[in-house]
Chains A and B, each alone.
Chain A
Amino acid sequence: MTTALTVIGVGNRLRGDDAVGPLLIDALSASQADALELIDAGSDALGILEYFENRQEVIVVDACSMGRDPGCLVSFSPSQADLVLEEDPLSLHGLGLAEALRMAESLKMLPEHLKIIGIEPDSIQFNGTLSQPVQRALKIAIKTVQDEFHRVTKDSEIKS
């Protein structure tokens, strides 16, 4: 079966709420749906470009600094938001999701339907755990992805 929906979790599992993207991938991996492609991109954001090719429906889940309350979840397309670029990074470590999306856009590599699920973190300290608000947001994010999968595949084989 071909992939109907690709979900990419971005973030560092060792940094508190930044783990929300990879943890969402873990939670969904219990699903046996062949049409659902799950990618844990870790914190190498430029790596997500590899998964944009030949895909129509893509969701990227990441902790985002949006100036909102911790745990706030916003679903948006790249054109709906002004992603703050690090124009002048001192190292490759400064190239993150905003830069990767901008690059994909300029290279006309963006998938036809790309949605970003941003979750406002409380803390991204090393060795931290998911905060309560982000734990709640993770549940909502899982539901959002499942609904999206149903919409795309019009079936209900995905389980939580």
Chain B
Amino acid sequence: MSRDLNIKVHHLTRVEGHGNIVVNMKDGVLEKAHLSIVEPPRFFEAMLKGRSFHEAAIITSRICGICSLGHQLTSLVTTEDALGLEISEQTRLLRKLLVHGATLQSNILHAYFLAAPDFLGAGSVFPLIATHKDVVLRALRMKRVANDIGDIVSGRAVHPITPVPGGFTRIPEKAELLEIKRKLLEEALPDGLETVNTMKALAGAIPQFERETEYISLKHSDEYALYEGDIFSSDSGLIPIANYLDVTNEFVVNHSTSKHAKYNRNSYFVGALARWNNNNAQLGEEAHAAAAAMGLKPNCYNPYMNTIAQVVEAVHCILDSVRIIDKLIELGLKNEKPNQTPTRYGRGIGSNEVPRGILFHDYTYDNKGNIVEANCIIPTGQNLANIDDDMMKLVPEIIEKSKAEITLNLEMLVRAYDPCISCSVHMLEVDFIE
């Protein structure tokens, strides 16, 4: 079909930082289809230079209110790698518990507040509050349990204070952990399973679109990798974290102030679907049952299913958090002090899976323990090229639809990746009623 199509979706309501969808088709030939980013998430380096190893994680955790824990923990493992700080098994377990809480919270909010309104054709979450109040309350209840994990383990849910290089400044009490366990089993688990039912009912509204791409995530020998592991590519297998620059290969494109990334192909996918595709064999029975109920299969190439993979991970995080709490208690909580005596100075590289995908921090310290060089590569930057390639394949496939439908499909695609573009400025815009 010979057709002209021009789509420009401008999201300008944030004062700074936004993504615009641009599609340009002339005489049936697709010239352009991309997500244009107008804010550079490349401010990390300048903010970290000259800062001491005690400060790095505090600063990075404040870069973004939604991604705060992911940045903080990745910053800590990077500093520990650079300074040769060993951590205890207890620290490792407490961090994994924090990662599970943050993943649960982000995945659930994304599924309910961003994806579900699309699947229901509601436009946004606000009309749903009146019609599906119980569902909105369920989402907020699950957010609260996740917050409780943050409060108890890290001292504060939003910008954690007790996790420091080498360990924790405060170890939670046994009774506090048991209370979290109770909430996980009595509140979060039933809510999580109800979430699976809700998403199962909505799954029919998920667009049928497939584009096989390269899936990149961490991989851990013993568990579904969220904290620690090696880099794994679905195309070429394992790569040590130290060689992350060989994977990310950042490059500049004209339509985005954020750099793009590519490895074995033109683009690659990071996030819940990549983790699912690479590591689903390491998930437990309940998570697999959830995936089966919602129609998520191994080697899924539909990017819209990222949301479903997030819900599967939420179930996993709830149950695995209980396992971690049991293990912590079995080992006996020890009031350890953080190990903050550097055994070396120089470069360190750290990586974790954060809700939106694999995150890399890379710092170089001088011999006073101050940062002289820093590099952070966030998941959204790595996904941008993949989103553009999805759009280039998707638009011709749905070109018979109306412009409004095509626009919605593209917005839903971008939302499926939950990009961190307007990272962290929550400026309230107000018009006064005269």
Contacts and interface: CB of A to CB of B under 8 A. Distances in A.
A96 B126 CA distance: 13
Contacts of A2: none
A106 B133 CA distance: 9
Interface in A67-114: 67, 74, 76, 80-99, 102-103, 106-107
Contacts of B238: none
B13 interface: yes
Given A94-B11, A106-B129, A87 B123 contact: yes
A65 interface: yes
A94 B433 contact: no
A18 B15 CA distance: 11
Interface in B377-434: 411, 414-415, 417-433
B424 A15 contact: yes
A92 B426 contact: no
Interface residues of B, number: 58
Interface in B125-177: 125-126, 129-130, 133, 136-137, 140, 143-144, 147, 157-159
What interface size band does chain A fall in? 35 or more
Interface string A38-53: 0011111111011000
Interface of A: 10-15, 18, 40-47, 49-50, 62-67, 74, 76, 80-99, 102-103, 106-107, 116, 118, 121, 124-127
Given A10-B428, A64-B430, A86-B13, 16 more contacts: A12-B62, A12-B425, A62-B426, A66-B429, A74-B430, A84-B431, A89-B114, A90-B415, A92-B114, A92-B418, A93-B17, A95-B113, A102-B126, A107-B129, A126-B47, A127-B43
Interface of B: 11, 13-17, 19, 43, 46-47, 59, 62-66, 68, 106, 109-110, 113-114, 123-126, 129-130, 133, 136-137, 140, 143-144, 147, 157-159, 411, 414-415, 417-433
